[in-house]
Amino acid sequence: MKAFRCLLLLLMVTVAACGSDRAGTGAAGPAPLGQTFESDIRLAKELSEAYWRQVFSADGLAYRPVTAFTAYRGEDGPGCGGRPSVPNNAFYCADGHFIAYDESWMRKLYDEMGDGSVYVIIPHEFGHAVQAQLNSGFRLNVERELQADCYAGGTLGALVEGGSLEAEPGDKDELLLNLAAAGDPTDDWLRPDAHGTAEQRQALFAKGYNEGTAAC
């Protein structure tokens, strides 16, 4: 996949131009993405961790890779903190420091809405892994989720600018579609499972993409 050049014209947010305070990845050239579901999953994981490893190192910190990156199907997934996994989901588990995703669900999104789904969901979950390592505190769940969206956008933007991912025509629309589909139907920030409306999620992703993860 490709990534997504500036979302500025499609989102009603004020953002800086592409290129501010981004960490590069040191890659020699764009990864051969968009070939298969499996390759996109693998590369989204590997590139996300490579990006955060470099960011942590630049700040004098040691990034701790996730202990597992696990695919499951339906209800046959790993539990987290005494709670079972659920179908049609991807999650980061602080109790064990791992990421798991429902492979059938992710593949369905990939087939129906394009490979943008992989490059939204996986960097978002790595955003939660980063929050855990930084001991980030939040009053509301929606604040945690929107920051993870911002981290995901910042990760993707850095990978595009650093040359690890290559944008293609239509990627912007594909990404916006995936974010819209994941938005809450109402702006109820007090719900314990609130993630933000489609517009809020798009705006925070765009902020990260255009300004970098440091702005999140």
Whole-number Å distance between alpha carbons of 211 and 19: 7
Amino acid at 124: H
For residue 10, what are its two tokens?
């499609």
Assess contact for 176 and 12: CB atoms under 8 A.
Answer: no
**DSSP conformation letters of 105-118:** HHHHHHHHH-THHH
Looking at residue 1, its pLDDT comes to: 43
Q: What does pLDDT average to over the chain?
A: 82
Cβ atoms within 10 Å, residue 148: 27
Alpha helices in 74-194 (DSSP H): 103-113, 116-133, 141-161, 171-181
Q: Domain limits of the chain?
A: 47-63+113-215
pLDDT digits (tens, 9 = 90+) for 163-210: 998 877 767 777 777 787 766 656 766 677 767 888 899 999 999 999
- The model carries a pTM of 0.83
Residue 41 burial class via C-beta count within 10 angstroms: exposed 0-12, middle 13-18, buried 19 and up = buried
| pLDDT: which is higher, 131 or 26 | 131
pLDDT digits (tens, 9 = 90+) for 122-155: 999 999 999 999 999 898 999 999 999 999 999 9
pLDDT digits (tens, 9 = 90+) for 48-65: 999 999 999 999 999 999
